[in-house]
Amino acid sequence: MKIYSLEVSKIKSTPVKNIMVTPPISVEKDLPLKDIVQILEGNNISGVPVVDNQRVIGVISERDILRYTRLVIGYPAKHFSQLPGGENVVAVTEERGINVMELAASITAEVMMTKEPVVAKEKTPILEVVELICDNDINRVPIVDEEEMLKGIISRADILKLIKEKGEQMIL
């Protein structure tokens, strides 16, 4: 038998709107990789929603970026030194007439993003968002309104912060 305090029950049924991060950091679909990386690094985050006129059309994460650049470059970063010409990947690729690093840096969010992102409505209970994160093995969920417009975001870290603030009594 599980016994929940009133506060814990309230937290479970609380809409995610009450704890989501606003305004959310997002990127437009045509933003190049080099700018996306600056946004991620500058805000100390690992991913962002990709929007088209404020409608969420995807999510791009560090994992997506690493996967895509590996495909473009053709080698995992740890093997660059094994390429003909040593560490200078740019020189090697320019011999073939292509600067692959520049090519990878110019690719847009729309090309690299995870399409059909998992999103939640503002009124979705926090517990359901936790289930979305766990069931889909994702780090963040964009929060949208009834018109599918981006309103906020919630991440694993935000959920952990809530658990920490509410103490040991809160068990989702």
Each residue's pLDDT tens digit, 95-106: 555 555 666 667
Is position 85 within any domain? yes
Please give the tally of structural domains in the chain: 1
**In this model, does residue 1 exceed pLDDT 80?**
no
The yes-or-no verdict on residue 11 having pLDDT over 90 is: no
Is 28 inside any structural domain?
yes
Residue 34 counted as domain residue: yes
DSSP β-ladder status, 47-52 and 55-61:
antiparallel
Kindly indicate the confidence band of residue 92, based on its pLDDT and cuts at 50, 70 and 90.
very low
171 falls within a domain:
no
Question: Is 172 within the bounds of a domain?
Answer: no
Average pLDDT over residues 81-89: 40
Percent of the chain with pLDDT strictly greater than 90: 47
pLDDT at 102: 65
- CATH code, domain with 119: 3.10.580.10
Quick check: is 39 in a domain? yes
**Mean pLDDT in residue range 1-30:** 76
Residue 68, in any domain of the structure: yes
**Total length of the chain:** 172
Does residue 1 lie within any of the structural domains?
no
Please tell me the distance from the alpha carbon of residue 119 to that of residue 43, in angstroms, as a whole number.
Answer: 21
Domain carrying residue 132: 6-166
Check whether 80 has a pLDDT greater than 70.
no
Give the span between the Cα atoms of 84 and 71, in whole angstroms.
Answer: 18
